[in-house]
Chains A and B, each alone.
Chain A
């Protein structure tokens, strides 16, 4: 049996989250991918480990249509997978609903074909569950799986498919991409957060040049929000946003537990703090004891090199 992975393209390129989903799915065996929309089929064919690309170029980006398309072909598969992006999280549970299956979302580890680990309670606990369903419908967290690489060796065949099924009446109006050059906190690949060590709201701007260099989102500790240095929507932590970027840079924040709860799943953590005893160092992969007012300009310069 085979796994079907719903992938997404951005322009002609396949999204990195989707490449991670393919890599995760390869644990089960052969992988077919399903791509919706006009672009990206060529690159999809080059994903390592993909045996077939199903390309529905005229299907709208609507959960109703995509889920129906997948459910229609589900009997060919024992696993249906996507990345746990807003796109995947919108579509796959609907697929599960159509198939009378309990989906397993936000998977961070695959134990075997039926057994998966997923975080619950905002990551305060990890739950291992074994599915009794014949078809497993999963979304996987891309931060926990390496991306599949692209290869020119033997592109997989691309098969055009179309939807013939009747779907509920929904209309795709459009998407307004966020104009800010800065990504959103929860989906950013890199997050740089400031704490009270920045001393005032004006100094928060010191994070921006570094964030620009890294394409990072900017976050703040609760203490910094509390002190009025940053707006609440920037708060990372138990009571704010939970983030798990590839790289998390904590600047001038001590690392209160409530903050750690919001960022400890980041892949790589960097801490910059004056106080060598700050708890943030106990979770940091790379710690730099120093004055952030000196470190930030240096960091910007080094990154520019």
Chain B
């Protein structure tokens, strides 16, 4: 009984950490620009696929990982510069469709370049499972959790202790006021997209040895990250992390105890419940609307 529960919990937290990173990415971009970036999932896919490609090409793991995080960050900046910025004043629906278009382009290019097959690479510290209380934990899961925790701490430091981070926060509070005190809001937007893409890519890089990757995994992972962001309360950083872990754990429990066929439906049932009963999410701010 308990070992089984622990097993589900471990796999839930591991996947949940990736959702949390994706949700943080959504939150960052949403706060900086009010755009819901539907291409977020593609950055997760890019992370995993690029590590696979660079390792195939014979590069050592650290170099492959660095490139697999840096390249999506550049793609994120290109997306902002070439597609989001020219359409700044468009309606929300229009911006959503632009990001969906971008996700199709990214997915299509990867499919042409690396094919339709599923790929993986070995875990960073081997694959000998660790036994805890009758359940097993892959060393790669520890990597996922450890790095996610580090990233969260680093983000907290960035936003609360550095000038650049505070500039981003200021912009998300009030764009005009931020501009008036001399913050370069265009730069803020660019950094948000780069950071958000890098976060997604980190998730993909870490998760791939456990779950495999292919050109089309981005949609589901991205949508679940989005659910996590909403569950946590859209716009709240801590909420995104909690939301991600919660979605991951509930999904794993439902898959284990109820039905594995309906595993993918769980986050979406969850989002309907949240919207019906606590629409601001767990940690979402109370929003007052100006007319």
Query: Do A and B make up one complex?
Result: no
Please give the residue numbers on chain A whose beta carbons come within 8 Å of chain B beta carbons, in ascending order: none
Please give the residue numbers on chain B whose beta carbons come within 8 Å of chain A beta carbons, in ascending order: none
